[in-house]
Structure 1
Amino acid sequence: MIIKKLLFVALLIISIGHKLYAQSPFMFYITESGDHTDNKALAASYAVVEKLPGDSVWSVKQFNMRDIILTSGFFKDETLSVPTGKFIYYHKVDFSPDINYRANGIADTLNHIQTTGYFVDGEKSGVWTDYSFGRKTELHTYNKGRLNGLCQLYGNDGNVSLEGYYVNDHKEGEWCGLDAEGFVNFTDAYNKKGINIKHTNYLENNYRPPVMPFDLHTYLRKRTAGFKTPDHTGTLVLDLKISKDGVVTDVKVAQIVDTNFDELMVNAFMNSPKWKPATYKGQKVDSKFRLTFNIIDVIRPETIY
């Protein structure tokens, strides 16, 4: 990735001497292979580095030789070795004269944003999002540089097509493949080693599980507002009973994390909006549904640049 090139070039610049840092902002050229060069004719891009006033943070922006931005981000040190805060990666588009891509994309001149996310102390943290011409395609959650938390893939219609959770870089628990209406087409169950231990294809047996017709994460944020999540990590497992009318009639805690937090989550689902009920051969039926939540200590950047 481009950031790797920036880091590599930064180390080369350090070997040249700290005199480059005597003035801010300053610029250096980068070859196609990511090497530093003083010869503009050999450069494929260049980076502009500037120390933010009254702060120890250094801003870095990388451009191609037509002055189109490729990457923007921040580093904690003048050696550009510890990324911090928000990073944005762009994808250059060669526009066809008969297609107006810019009308559909998150555009910056001839670019569209490809990836956004945050670093904390040099490691990816929180939500990282990928885009294609302005359409969100993937969402991953990181904690201390490792995949930990929600992962979602999106279809061309913008709806979630695959959803599940990572724990320490491994898929864990139940991952769901969804159709355009939010119904589950299949599920894959993963153990703590990230091994797929069970695949269920609901299209083969004419059964469709119940579906939440509301955004779960937005709903839970509202229901748990002001409550401090447990300090320790763990996995909360809830077993729900949902009537053929879409009403949650019972919630049992199958795996405990924290008594107070567990009770809060049970109440949240007992009072949740109606679901789309499960169906079997086209008929609405009562059903059971298991939800797994991985409670992790996600470090959030205190300062967002």
Structure 2
Amino acid sequence: MKKNILILFSFFAVLSLKAQVAPVYFYGNQVTTDRNKATSYAIYGKLSAENIWTFKRYDLYDNLIQTGSYEDETLSTPHGNFNFYMDIQTFNDFHNTKFKLKGKTRFLSQQGNFVHGVEQGKWMVYYPDGNVLSTQNYVNGELSGESKTFDKFGNVEEGGNYINGKKDGEWISMEGTRKDLYDNGVLKSSILIKQNRKEKRTTNQ
């Protein structure tokens, strides 16, 4: 961890002689001043005249787990694009899958955008092989628009639309076998449908 911090300090210094760079330590997702209790750490710095602080977070084994930027030095207001990274085996354990990627143990698991502290636009979640697991759209921090979850073959497991954070209109669920109708978040009807599921793509498993 110490070696990585020194490298990152040098990186930020090269980018801007006026950069203000500092490490910060986390216990879970809470900032801690006790390095001995830290479960992860981050390096952040103000690299320009704008009030934007770039941010990179690592686990204690120096694996990158998050990148992004904030509007403030206290890292309380995210602003800009965020990327999240995950261990493949952790994903497999959680999802009961068997992904294996040659030469890789980690992958880009999620990405999306914040504007002044709230989610905006499309957020994507990925399988370890890079295929899409889910897509959601946000407007001012609320789910709004199309939302879909896919299986590892690209079939829609759940999908529909949100309006102001509430399901609205027709939704497909139960791995594409049920059709629900929502009105402003209230379930109005539900029917089972028949659907032949076909593998649409291959995966590195």
TMscore range, shorter length? 0.7 to 0.9
Residue 64 of structure 2 aligns to which amino acid in structure 1? Answer: I
Please identify the structure whose Cα radius of gyration is greater.
Answer: 1
Provide the residue aligned with 1:117 in structure 2: 112
- Where 2:146 maps in the other structure, the secondary structure is strand
CA–CA separation in structure 2 for the residues paired with 1:157 and 1:48? 37
What is residue 179 of structure 2 aligned with on the other side? 187
Q: What's the counterpart of residue 101 of structure 1? A: 100
Offset of residue 185 of structure 1:
4.2
DSSP 3-state at the match of 1:200: strand
Separation in 1, partners of 2:51, 2:61: 30
Q: With the length of structure 2 as denominator, give the TM-score of the two structures.
A: 0.73
Distance 1:31 1:177 in 2: 37
Q: Is the 8 A contact 1:160 1:178 kept in 2?
A: no
Question: Is there any run of 5+ residues in structure 2 with no aligned partner, and where?
Answer: 1-17, 93-97, 196-205
How far apart are the structure 1 equivalents of 2:124 and 2:52?
Answer: 23
How far apart are residue 32 of structure 1 and its match?
3.9
> Percent identity among equivalent residues?
27
Whether the 8 Å contact between 2:68 and 2:78 is mirrored in structure 1 is yes
Give the length in aligned residue pairs: 171
Residue-by-residue CA offset, 1:5-26 (whole Å, 9 max, x unaligned) = xxxxxxxxxxxxxxxxx96221
Shift of 1:200: 2.3
1:47 partner amino acid: A
Query: Structure 1's 67 and 155: CA in aligned 2 closer, same or farther, altered over 3 A?
Result: same
Judged with a 3 Å threshold, the aligned counterparts in structure 2 of structure 1 residues 175 and 33 are, in CA distance, closer, same or farther, namely: closer
Q: Runs of at least 4 residues of structure 1 off by over 4 A?
A: none
**C-alpha separation in 1, matches of 2:88 and 2:33:** 26
Query: 1:283-302 counterparts in 2 under 5 A?
Result: none
User: What does residue range 108-257 of structure 1 map to in structure 2 within 5 Å?
Assistant: 110-133=105-128, 134-177=130-173, 185-192=177-184, 194-203=185-194
Structure 2 SS opposite 1:102: coil
Question: Conserved in 1, the CA contact under 8 Å of 2:127 and 2:152?
Answer: no
Structure with the largest fraction of strand: 2
Query: What TM-score, normalized to structure 1?
Result: 0.50
Gaps of 5+ in 1: 1-21, 209-305
